[in-house]
């Protein structure tokens, strides 16, 4: 029997290999999109069509070349996986048979088992080769689609050149089809390889197990169970079934193996992406591995997250979604960088996605799977650069939010420019309107005091069509007429009224004042 954990990690090496293929293709396409002609060339339909055709032909050839470099590694990895899995599942079942006094034949002397193993390899490899044979045309179709959309957006004036490029690249980073099934359904390379390899391996091992059961005369099997099973599988996992029809034995009814579990169908046991398996069982001799209470525990809503209870399956699906977000923004960052557009926003989204995933894993008691978030070309150097960009972006966003808070607190118009670092000014050269400040307004402020308040100001605000600069601090406020290079008014904090006290309080709340 292959355990659920074994099956979960079984395709990882091959998936990682083909994730690299997918990511390399994405960056190549992004570079091509980034070289899209400017708007003047785009309006020349003949020139645009010629460039577009050239890019599609080159992309098709590059993908074929890339696939050929990985085909040998894929064949070897598929053979290794099937052989390891086949030997492991037979060894597990044979240990149970031997404990019951049976003597299973060695696999190297059993031609029927070897034939099944080789047939499983050929079928799994053939399925994968049939899918990857569609990759070049599928990817070229994706390039054609995004180029045509970008051309329409730019030539019509709906979007600027840079925005159209970024939208095209981001769309592919989110989802780029890499294979086309005979039904016409399209999927990414990553999804297709995981499904093909996991399904092919599990089905091959199941056939080996059933052949061994026939050899040993075993009519009953117990199906494995695991937390996080999809609901339609949870109803039959962990139970004992009879091969060859439902039966009552020793007063106990055993349902038919294939009918109950859907074995042999894509939706059932050992079907698409299924991590369940089975093993021999002898009523009256074997001890069931799963009690009703244990199965209830596996299917229970016993994981708390954000004040609600979830099953392990629901939690696993939530984690998969968060993992896909991390990969998406890694790919988006690399693709935007390859296309020559600013990837700062993508870096910030990636940082937030990683934070969300880590928080979720800690809160739910799960574990991070680096394979599911890895992206070829995104190593330590790229991670460091992306993090630096994200931090700078977040700092700028925090700065923008603070400025808006100050604007609202000070009842300032949208045209007012708020500077968290006060605008530099030659204080010594400033004139001082003593007539207005002290005789008319009676503020009782000296020129030296006002200039000192400017030096100690925590923010400054440009107003009145950039004619005035207001310097605000804990000691007082000073308004400078920039055109006349003169302090027009100044007053101490004791005279703050209107919106100024609220502005000062907001500054204090945000650490701008002690």
Whole-model pTM: value is: 0.72
Segment 290-296 long-range contacts (CB within 8 Å, at least 24 positions apart): 290/222, 290/225, 290/238, 290/239, 294/225, 294/238, 295/225, 295/237, 295/238, 295/239
Nearest to 458 by CA among 443, 444, 432, 477: 477
Distance separating alpha carbons of residues 82 and 278, to the nearest angstrom: 17
Distance separating alpha carbons of residues 63 and 70, to the nearest angstrom: 11
Pairing status of strand 431-432 against strand 486-492: parallel
Q: Which residues contact 173 (CB under 8 A, 6 or more apart)?
A: 26, 30, 328, 329, 331, 332, 334, 335, 336
What pLDDT does residue 132 have? 86
Angle at 22 between CA 26 and CA 145, to 5 degrees: 45
What pLDDT does residue 445 have? 96
Mean pLDDT per block of 10 residues along the chain (514 residues) reads: 77 84 89 80 75 90 88 87 91 93 90 92 88 89 89 82 87 86 87 86 91 94 89 92 94 95 92 89 92 84 88 88 93 92 92 95 90 85 92 92 96 96 96 95 96 97 96 96 97 95 95 87
Q: Is 239 left (phi over 0), alpha (psi -120 to 50) or beta?
A: beta
Q: Is 363 left (phi over 0), alpha (psi -120 to 50) or beta?
A: alpha
What pLDDT does residue 42 have? 61
- How big is the chain, counted in residues? 514
Count other C-beta atoms under 10 Å from residue 255's C-beta: 16
Query: Is residue 249 helix, strand or coil?
Result: strand
Pairing status of strand 459-463 against strand 468-472: antiparallel
What pLDDT does residue 46 have? 81
Nearest to 278 by CA among 299, 264, 293, 297: 264
What pLDDT does residue 39 have? 63
What pLDDT does residue 43 have? 62
């Amino acid at each position: 029997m292959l355990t659920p954990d074994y099956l979960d990690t079984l395709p990882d090496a091959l998936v990682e290999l083909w994730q690299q293929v997918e990511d390399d293709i994405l960056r190549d396409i992004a570079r091509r999109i980034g070289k899209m002609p400017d708007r003047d060339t785009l309006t020349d339909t003949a020139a645009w069509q010629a460039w577009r055709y050239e890019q599609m032909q080159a992309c098709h050839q590059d993908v074929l070349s890339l696939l050929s470099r990985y085909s040998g590694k894929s064949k070897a990895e598929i053979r290794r996986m099937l052989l390891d899995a086949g030997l492991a599942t037979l060894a597990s079942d044979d240990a149970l048979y031997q404990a019951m006094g049976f003597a299973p034949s060695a696999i190297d002397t059993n031609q029927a088992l070897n034939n099944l193993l080789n047939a499983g390899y050929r079928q799994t490899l053939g399925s994968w080769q049939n899918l990857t044979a569609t990759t070049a045309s599928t990817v070229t179709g994706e390039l054609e689609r995004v180029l045509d959309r970008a051309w329409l957006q730019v030539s019509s004036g709906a979007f600027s050149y840079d925005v159209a490029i970024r939208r095209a690249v981001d769309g592919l980073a989110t989802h780029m089809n890499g294979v086309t099934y005979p039904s016409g359904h399209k999927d990414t390379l990553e999804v297709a390889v995981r499904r093909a390899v996991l399904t092919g391996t599990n089905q091959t091992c199941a056939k080996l197990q059933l052949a061994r059961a026939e050899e040993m005369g075993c009519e009953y099997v117990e199906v494995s169970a695991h937390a996080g099973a999809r609901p339609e599988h949870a109803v039959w996992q962990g139970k004992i079934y009879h091969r060859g029809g439902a039966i009552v034995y020793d007063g106990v009814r055993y349902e038919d193996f294939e009918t109950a579990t859907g074995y042999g169908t894509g939706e059932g046991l050992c079907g698409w992406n299924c991590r369940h398996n089975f093993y021999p069982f002898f009523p009256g001799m074997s001890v069931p591995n799963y009690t009703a209470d244990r199965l209830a525990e596996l299917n229970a809503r016993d994981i708390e997250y954000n004040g609600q209870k979830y099953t392990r399956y629901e939690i696993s699906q939530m984690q998969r979604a968060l993992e896909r977000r991390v990969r998406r923004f890694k790919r988006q960052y690399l693709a935007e960088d390859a296309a020559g557009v600013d990837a700062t926003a993508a870096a910030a989204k990636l940082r937030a996605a990683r934070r969300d995933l880590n928080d979720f894993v800690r809160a739910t008691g799960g574990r991070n799977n680096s394979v599911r978030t890895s992206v070829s070309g995104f190593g330590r150097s790229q991670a460091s650069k992306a993090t630096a960009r994200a931090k700078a972006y977040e700092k700028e966003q925090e700065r923008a939010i603070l400025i808006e808070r100050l604007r609202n607190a000070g009842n300032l118009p949208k045209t007012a420019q708020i500077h968290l670092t006060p605008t530099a000014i030659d204080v010594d050269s400033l004139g001082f309107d003593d007539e207005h400040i002290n005789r008319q307004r009676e503020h009782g402020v000296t020129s030296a005091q006002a200039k000192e308040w400017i030096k100690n100001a925590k923010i400054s605000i440009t107003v009145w069509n950039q004619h005035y600069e207001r310097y605000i601090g804990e000691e007082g406020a000073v308004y400078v007429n920039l055109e006349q290079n003169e302090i027009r008014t100044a007053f101490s904090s004791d005279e703050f009224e209107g919106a100024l006290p609220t502005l000062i309080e907001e500054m204090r709340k945000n650490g701008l004042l002690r």
